[in-house]
């Protein structure tokens, strides 16, 4: 494992801007006029515009939809002429009672723990970027990396229901349909992914006093 030399030893140019798409490094002109990467034309931002506002907006929307996602059934099944709704937690409880503890744990982490952790952690990151800029920077940066890496695993239950609904089609004997909670849950997953993408992790390292443009 090698570590690049810190920028203090790099050429004393004002501000270096890396393209997140192609990696090319450009110097930011004094008037901040650089808008696109000169090589691949990807948008360049010194900071993502309205990062915190957008993050908060997605987080609020995700939190609101989190309620119907958990209260409404994500799936309805008919088994031997009996109709039953299944909520997110209910499905996990069923797996647990069937003795499939490992699976119950996987689904619990993907469907309950990850979305909650993402909403909570992103709210903390967005709050601390404004109000506690110096607080535990390295840990905050690592938390953000984790959020980005695990976010899409919450799609797990959405796919499971889509597959079950398509396969369990034996009429009154046994059948499964997606419930109204599924769309709400899918929206929560997408909104938290958008919230994570809107948050600019460079805000964690921003110097507290002078605000950057």
Partner 1 sequence: MPDEQPSLAVCERCGQAHRWTRLAPREVARCSRCDAVLGRGHRLDLSALLALTLAAALVFLIAHGSDLITIRLAGAEQRTTFPMAVLHCWRAGEQGVAVLAAVTALLAPALFIALRLYLLLPLALGRVPAGFAACLRLLHQVSRWNTVEVLTVAALLALVRIAALAQASPGPGLLALGALALLLAAIESAGLRHLWWHVP
Q: For binding to partner 1 (CB under 8 A), which residues are involved?
A: 1-7, 9-10, 16-18, 20-25, 39-42, 79, 95, 98, 100, 103, 106-107, 137-138, 141-142, 144-145, 152-153, 155-170, 173-174, 177-178, 182-183, 186-187, 190, 193, 197, 201-202, 204-205
Count CB-CB contacts under 10 A for residue 43.
12
Quick one: 71 or 149, whose CB is closer to partner 1? Answer: 149
DSSP structure class, residue 112 = I
- 132 token code pair: 């506690």
Min dist CB 178 to partner 1, Å, is 5
What is the spatial distance between Cα 106 and Cα 73, in angstroms, rounded to a whole number? 20
In the bound state with partner 1, the residue whose beta carbon lies nearer, of 4 and 30, is 4
Shortest CB 202 distance to partner 1, Å:
4
Q: Which is nearer to partner 1, 120 or 139 (CB)?
A: 139
Residue 4 CB, nearest approach to partner 1 (Å): 3
- Min dist CB 116 to partner 1, Å, is 18
Q: How far is the CB of 162 from partner 1 (least distance, A)?
A: 5
Strands 75-79 and 82-86: antiparallel
Instruction: Say if residues 112 and 125 touch (Cβ distance below 8 Å).
Output: no
Least Cβ distance, residue 35 to partner 1 (angstroms): 14
Nearer to partner 1, 86 or 119 (CB): 86
**Could you tell me if 189 and 77 are in contact, meaning their C-beta atoms sit under 8 angstroms apart?**
no
Measured from the CB atom, the residue of 38 and 120 that comes closer to partner 1 is: 38
Task: Please check whether residue 110 is in contact with residue 156, taking contact to mean a CB–CB distance below 8 angstroms.
Answer: yes
DSSP code of residue 46? S
> Which backbone phi and psi does 205 adopt, to 5 degrees?
-100, 5
> Closer CB to partner 1, residue 24 or residue 123?
24
d(C-alpha 52, C-alpha 201), whole Å: 10
Cα 47 from chain centroid (whole Å): 19
Would you say 58 and 193 are in contact if contact means Cβ atoms under 8 Å apart?
no
């Amino acid at each position: 494992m090698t570590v690049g030399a810190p920028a203090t030893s790099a050429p004393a140019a004002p501000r270096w801007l890396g393209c997140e798409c192609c990696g090319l490094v450009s110097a930011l002109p004094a008037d901040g006029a650089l808008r696109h990467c000169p090589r691949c034309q990807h948008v360049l931002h010194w900071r993502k515009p309205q990062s915190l506002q957008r993050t908060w907006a997605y987080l609020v929307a995700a939190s609101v939809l989190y309620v119907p996602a958990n209260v409404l059934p994500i799936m309805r099944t008919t088994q031997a002429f009996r109709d039953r709704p299944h909520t997110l937690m209910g499905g996990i409880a069923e797996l647990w009672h069937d003795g499939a503890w490992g699976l119950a744990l996987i689904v619990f982490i993907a469907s309950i723990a990850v979305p909650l952790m993402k909403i909570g952690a992103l709210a903390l990151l967005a709050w601390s970027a404004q109000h506690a800029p110096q607080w535990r920077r390295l840990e905050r940066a690592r938390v953000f990396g984790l959020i980005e890496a695990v976010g899409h695993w919450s799609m797990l239950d959405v796919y499971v229901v889509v597959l079950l609904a398509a396969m369990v089609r034996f009429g009154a004997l046994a059948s499964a349909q997606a419930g109204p909670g599924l769309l709400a849950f899918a929206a929560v997953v997408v909104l938290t992914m958008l919230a994570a993408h809107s948050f600019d992790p460079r805000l964690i390292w921003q110097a507290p006093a002078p605000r950057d443009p």
